[in-house]
Amino acid sequence: MALYSEKVMDHLMHPRNVGILEDADGVGEVGNAKCGDIMKIYLKIENDIIVDVKFETFGCGSAIASSSMATEMIKGKSIHDAMALTNKAVTEALDGLPAHKIHCSVLAEEAIKNALRDYYDRHNIPYDPADFPDCEHCEHCH
């Protein structure tokens, strides 16, 4: 049995939405190099719709695949939908991740949330800070 599902391997070997957006409306970065994974998400938002999204990831195969899948899942969606994206949904869309790689999908969820918070901050849009918990699932950060 392979380490990763075919979906993970597909998103790893052919990652979608790699790169940066120079004119991004929101940028979110989570993780740190010491722990071996950093994810950075760039969002272009028009009329509450994510019209473009790019990512950069330093990390293992599942981190890259999770970023790729997560960006695909929010592209063209509303901010509301993007806020509702959970790491569980990313994991399921990838047909599962090994237990010790689940945190990679958590990073993807949190990178997107960070980017959305950045968008709110930049545009002075009020939000509930409780919607943006600090990396609570991620044992790497503790």
Residues found near other proteins in the complex (CB under 8 A):
4, 9, 12-13, 15, 18-20, 29, 33-40, 55-64, 100-101, 139-140
Is 11 within 8 Å of 69 (Cβ atoms)? yes
Q: Which of 60, 104, 135, 141 is catalytic?
A: 104
Residue 35 among the catalytic residues: yes
Least distance in angstroms from the C-beta of 125 to other proteins:
25
Q: Which of 113, 123, 101, 106 lies closest to 74, judged by CA?
A: 113
Q: Which of 35, 60, 138, 141 is catalytic?
A: 35
80 versus 100: smaller Cβ distance to other proteins: 100
- Give the strand pairing for 26-32 and 49-58: unpaired
Residue 135 among the catalytic residues: no
Residues with a catalytic annotation lie at 35, 104
